[in-house]
Structure 1
């Protein structure tokens, strides 16, 4: 299956799948036992959550899991890590946003970032972390992959 056709899932689910791949011979985890553990929520919470939330036919999802783990035919890929920034909701008179920036490694402050100083904009790993620095005049924005 082409990289473009792989289903995007959480890194945690990929870690669970990789753990099963590494250990299914060691612990004699058959495909049926594996699927039973997924169906009943035992041991693989991320895979079980994906399975329960899927809109596909369950048999199709079971086949995908078996192909990925037991036949070494990738069916999934990890989502790219997301980054979040905090910026003003509105632009200033010059049409520029102001961002939470790290200017002196002591504390963050609101700063107008130009093209040559975007490296000082603080990129948070989680939305929750970014929201801690948001104010009523600011918003949390997810960065695009190429930013």
Structure 2
């Protein structure tokens, strides 16, 4: 009887150990309602990307409103689209499809003044991002900041 009693106890202990190991594994995988992992924070360059898309769309709307400005403004819209493409590759973002959307842009001098104001605001964002970016990102963001400064001056 003693031998049988030892085997029963050993089986109970082994079963209990195996069961708690399995329970711990299931708990670790979230089966029992553990809190989900929080979403990662947005990339620090996301605002620079968002502004590049916004600026490109603003230039495209201005060209539609004032076709006589196309030769002057279209290259700047293309610059911002190129910046958005490179930023999206760098941070692993997907660019939205579609062209210029939003309210129509005013024509002529008012449109140029609004675009210049938008470039100056976006320049501040790009400059701050460049200062905070690690070396491998700073070159791209610095060139974007320089382009925004050049665009603002070209719109005078």
TM class by smaller structure:
under 0.3
Choose between structure 1 and 2: higher strand proportion.
1
Please identify which structure carries the higher helix content: 2
Give the alignment's TM-score, normalised by structure 1: 0.25
